[in-house]
Amino acid sequence: MSEASQNLHITGGKDLPGFHNLLGYRQVSWEEDKAVIALDLRPEHLNLGGVIHGGVLSSLLDIVLAEAGTYCPYPGRMRKAITLTLTTTFTGQCSGGTITVTGIKRAGGTRIFNSTGEVRDDKGNLLAIAEGTFRIRSGSEKPEGVPI
């Protein structure tokens, strides 16, 4: 997922590719070791019980945790990573409003990194937490990444 997230950063959030477009989130901020995205909940994000679907939460956490370790400040370039593990714990529910998802890179080397993250509703309630391990794809090891 991080490859498409990189495209989001470079295009300023316009014309999100594939699954990212389906989710419909927006980039709030992105810097070295930290990323924040937000999602205005729509009916299609909810499960049969009328609350946000766990798959939506897990997907957003996967995206933002990968972004936390793949920031690229160079225009027209991007860094890519693949998810090796993702552990998500669901801690709350909501059925409307805006959720904010934050990812922070915690540790890593030249190819493997770990990130943690959380999802909060617009009242500050914790909805989910996650921890993930990611592998930087070939060519993306350096800050300048690869051409788009």
Q: How much is the pLDDT for 16? A: 67
Do β-strands 98-108 and 112-120 pair in parallel, antiparallel, or remain unpaired?
A: antiparallel
Residue 20: both structure tokens together: 């990212």
Q: What pTM does this model have? A: 0.89
Question: If we measure between CA atoms, which residue out of 89, 27, 83, 26 comes closest to residue 54?
Answer: 89
- The domains found in the chain, sorted by start residue, are 13-147 (3.10.129.10)
Question: If we measure between CA atoms, which residue out of 44, 65, 46, 53 comes closest to residue 118?
Answer: 65
Do β-strands 112-120 and 126-136 pair in parallel, antiparallel, or remain unpaired?
A: antiparallel
pLDDT tens, position by position, for the chain (148 residues)?
Answer: 344 344 444 434 556 678 888 899 999 999 999 999 999 999 999 999 999 999 999 999 999 999 999 999 999 898 999 999 999 999 999 999 999 999 999 999 889 999 999 999 999 999 999 999 999 998 888 888 899 8
Residue 4: both structure tokens together: 């498409």
- φ/ψ of 3, rounded to 5, equals -60, -45
Q: How far is CA 104 from CA 22, 31, 36, in A?
A: 24, 10, 9
Distance CA 19, CA 62 (A): 12
Q: How far is CA 116 from CA 29, 40, 131, in A?
A: 16, 22, 4
Instruction: Give 3-state DSSP helix, strand, coil % of the chain, rounded to 5.
Output: 25, 40, 35
Q: How much is the pLDDT for 8? A: 45
Residue type, 89: T
Q: How much is the pLDDT for 10? A: 40
Q: How much is the pLDDT for 1? A: 37
Distance CA 128, CA 107 (A): 21
